[in-house]
Structure 1
Amino acid sequence: MTSPAPAPETVAHDDLCPICHLLLYAPVRTECNHLLCASCMAQWADASTLTRITPSSLDMDLSAFDPNYDPTPDLEAGCPMCRTLTAAVPDRKLAGFLEARYPAAYAERRVEEETARGSRVGEDGVQGMMILIGNRHRAERGGDEGPNKHNWTFFVRVSRPDIVKEIRVNLHPTFRPPRVVLTEPPFEVRCLGWGTFTIEAELVLNEPYGWVKDGMGSRSQSLELSWMLDFEGRGKQGRVRAKVKKLDGDADHPIDVDARASPVNLPHMDHQHV
C-alpha cells in the first residue's frame, strides 16, 4: 500500500524573507535586527558599495579567516526595510531551526538557490571581497652619514586574488619609477625613504568581473584606494569591504574599462628614494 503524500508545509509569516517572500534560506541578520536571505541581502547591496578604509590590527591577515568564509553578508548597504546603513551576518542558529521545522520547503529553497540563483556566494550575483591595505615600517638610523631613513613596505591583500589582474601603484614623483604595476601576489612595494606621502593604488579585475561602485549600479574594472604612509611603530593597516560582480552578458551595466598603459609590470618591486 502506498504511503500518503506528506501534507504541504505551511510557512509562518515571520519565517518568510521580506524581499523574496519565500522561506528564509541561509538567513542573515542585519545590525538593525532585520532578517533576510543571504542572496537577497547581496542583491539588495548591488545598489551601493563602500570603499572607505576601516582601521584594522596590523596582525590581522586574510589567512586568519575561515577558508569557507563568505564576506558577501558583511557587505554594507542601506537596509531594505529601514534604509539604515548596515551590514549583516549569518544567523546559523536560525538556519538550523528553519531547516528542522520545514525540511521539505528548506530543501526546495536550497535547490532553487543553488541552481536558479546560484550559490550564496553568487557566481552570477554580487560577491564580497575583503581588502587589507597598509604599510609595515622599520626605522634605520642614519648615523654620521645623514638623517634617519625609513624602510617600509606598502601592501594590498585581497580575499579573491584569482580575479585580480593587476594593482597599479602610484608613488611620490621623486621615486624611480614613480608608478609600478603588480601582477601577482604578494602585491607589495618595498622602499627606503625619508618622509611620508599618500600612495594611490588602483585594483584592476580580470574580465568579466567588475567592481560595483555607486548607488546607480555602475561597474568598473578598476577600484582606486588611497593610503597615507604611517611611520609610527611597525606601521598600520586598514580593511575595505568591497563588492564585485561577474558581468557576462550584463548589457544593462557595461564595464568602464580603464585603458591607460601600464609602464612597469613586476610581481613586486624594490625602490630607492632618489
Structure 2
Amino acid sequence: MSCHSQRSIQTHCPICLNIITKAIQLPCSHVLCDKCISTLKKLEHKDYILLELTGDNDSLDLTSCCPMCRYEFPLSEARHNPEYDEKIRATIGEEAFAQEVEEMRQEQTELEQHNVLVVGNVYKKIATDSRNSNKWTFFVKMLNANVEDYVKRVDILLHPTFRPSRISRTRAPFKIVRLGWGTFTIVCTVYFHDKWGMAPKRFEHRLSFSGCGSFAEYPLEFKARRDEDLGSMSGGVSQSASPQ
C-alpha cells in the first residue's frame, strides 16, 4: 500500500540528510535526492551499473524497495519531479538552494579529478540459426564524467578472425558492437587529450558472456597541464594490469 502524501515539503534527503536539489519521487510519495536513488539502484542490482554505463538500463525490469517504508516499486517509476525542486527552492530560500548546488558542483569537480576509467562489455543472447548468437558491446567509459572530456581516441584489437580486427574510435561513444560464438581477450589503447598530460594506456579485457557482461575499474588522477608543459609529454604507452 502506498504511503499518504506528505503535508509539508521535505527539503532534506532522509538518507544523506543533504538539501535536495534534484528530487526523485517514488510511487509511495517519499522523496530522495538523485544521488541516493542512484546509489540504491547500484547497491541492489550489480547489473544496473553495467547497463547504466552503456545506456541500456531502461531495458531492465528491476524493482526496489523504498528505504523509508519498504514499499516495493519498479525502478522505472522513480522519476525526477521538477515541481518539487521549485517547492524546495521556495521553502529554503534562493540563497541556501544556490549554495547547495554550488557545493555539489565542487564535489563533482573533485570526483572528476580522481576519476575512474571503466573498460568492459555488455552481453546479450539472441535468437539466430547461426552459431554467432552472442551479441556483445565492448566499451570504454568514465564513471563520474563525460568520457569525451578526457579521452580523444581508443584503438581496439580483436581476435584475428574478425574483419577488420583493428578498429579506431576517435569520438564518443567509444564502443563497438559485434556478434560472435566465443570469448577472447580484447586489447585496447586509450589516448587522452593533451591538456591532461597523461600518456596512452593499454588495457586487456576478457569478453564475458555471463549475466549482462562484466567490467573493470581503473582509477586515474587527472590534472590539467600548463601550456608550456604540453610539448614535453612522452608519447609512450604505459601498461595497465588486466583484470583477473
TM normalised by structure 1 equals 0.43
Flag the structure with larger Rg: 1
Higher relative contact order (CA 8 A, sep 6+): 1
TM-score normalised to the size of structure 2? Answer: 0.47
Quick check: which one's helix share is greater? 2
